[in-house]
Structure 1
Amino acid sequence: MIIEANQVNSTEIYHTLTQVIIPRPIAWVLSPNDEAGSSHNLAPFSFFNVVCSDPPILMLSIGSKSDGSMKDTCHNLLEYKRCVIHIAANHQAQMVSDSAAELARGESELTLTGQTLMPFDGTGLMRLPDAPVALACRLHQHIEVGNRPQNLLLVEVERIWIDDAVCRRDAKGRMRFEADRIKPLARLGGTEYATLGELFSIRRS
């Protein structure tokens, strides 16, 4: 099959790309709804990855709500400049999916998913206590791309929390983070998600 990208509509291209660019990591983003952090938005995004290590910068690509307005995560990042990105474990799949619900501005998905928060030490932010990885981030750059447009947000990682249960030191004393203990949830197309399945290493020649 050959698909000429400029001959199909954007919806078809979206569904094609999200079914073949797989698996995708999921950024489960917690952002403050106000300056005081008295309310929070929680939403998952799979147009997400690391783009730089010096400084450590991650990428989030965020579209619009169904009515064309800006999604709350994007609004909060542009307004308050801070967020916490979590890597969800596979047992949190239902909560991740539930938190994708489109709510009115200021309503919190935490109420919808029944989750609580705890302080993210040293950041002045909050985090989800049950996610195995949390990254406190500050907005680095905002770029608009595409025809709608899409919001491309680059965020710089300032502090990382990793559950001790997924960490170990190897024979050389180096810290290792075990993928099969993190058990990250991955995004496929449509309503499909994936877990890691079989892990294997390839020796360098």
Structure 2
Amino acid sequence: MFVATDDLRYRTSLFNSVVAPRPIGWVSTLGPDGIANLAPFSYFNGVSATPPMVMFANNAPEDRAEKDTLANVRLSGEFCVNLATYDLREAMNATSAAVPRSVDEFRLAGLTPAPCELVRCARVAESPVSLECRLMRIVDFPPLRPQDRASAAVFGQVIAVHVADDYLDAAGHFDVLKAQPIARLGGFQYLRVTELFELRRPAKPTRGAGAS
């Protein structure tokens, strides 16, 4: 089957189903009015280890020029990414609702805002991991066609990490199986991490290896 990218089937399900699973960036910010904002982004990932960087991207909503998260990051230059886990799936989903800017999503979802150390916005106290981030760059993409919406990719440097002690093993490694992070698939589908396996990188071949 061949599907062009302007085909509705591609835009609404195929792309999101193929490029999956995608980690969820549960991003908290602080508005200029002092109202906390919390929203999940299914286009999120780590970008670099040195310096440690993450990114999230979104399309402009239909009812305003850009999402409150993006507007807040532009003004404040900072944000926090909280790990969305299986136990927090309902709260995460509640914060995806399209609500007025005056609504505090922490309160809406029954979550506890905890203070960050180096940025002014709050983090999700119930989340086992939170990444405090300083804005590095926003890349704005204008719509390619009149019916499309603008999009933006936000890149941030991770400047501090909060990890709940009971999610660290004896060696100090993060217990992914205990946390069970969730990821986004196509449509309304998600998955959770329940199994791990290892693949060791092949050793560097010696000169002449494999020659007959």
Q: Sort the TM-score into its range (normalised by shorter chain).
A: 0.7 to 0.9
Structure 2 CA distance for aligned equivalents of residues 79 and 93 of structure 1: 29
Higher Rg of the two aligned structures: 2
Shift of residue 124 of structure 1? 4.1
State the Cα distance separating 1:166 from its structure 2 match: 1.7
Whether the 8 Å CA contact 1:142–1:154 is kept in 2: the answer is: yes
Q: CA RMSD in A?
A: 1.9
The alignment's TM-score, normalised by the length of structure 1, stands at 0.88
TM-score by length of 2: 0.85
Are 2:149 and 1:151 equivalent residues in the alignment?
Answer: no
What per-residue deviation string (whole Å, max 9, x for no partner) do you get for residues 73-130 of structure 1? 0000001111110011111111111100011123221222112212123544421111
Task: Give the corresponding residue for 1:138.
Answer: 134
Amino acid at match of 2:25: A
Q: Identify the residue that residue 7 of structure 2 maps to in structure 1.
A: 8
Structure 2 partner of 1:112: 108
Which 4+ runs in 1 deviate beyond 6 A? none
Q: Aligned AA for 1:127?
A: R
Gap regions ≥5 residues in structure 2: 144-148, 203-212
Residue-pair matches, total:
197
Q: Which residue of 2 aligns with 1:84?
A: 80
Q: Match for 1:73: what amino acid?
A: T
For structure 1, list consecutive stretches of 5 or more residues without a partner in the other structure.
Answer: none
Task: Give, in whole Å, the separation in 2 of the partners of 1:135 and 1:169.
Answer: 22
Residue of 10, 26, 29 corresponding to 1:28:
26
1:85/1:162 Cα in 2 relative to 1: closer, same or farther (>3 Å)?
Answer: same
**1:49-68 pair list within 5 angstroms:** 49-68=45-64
Identical columns (%): 28
Any idea what the Cα deviations from partners look like across 1:39-67, whole Å, max 9, x if unmatched? 20110001001111222111110111123
Preserved contact between residue 30 and residue 83 of structure 1 (Cα < 8 Å)? yes
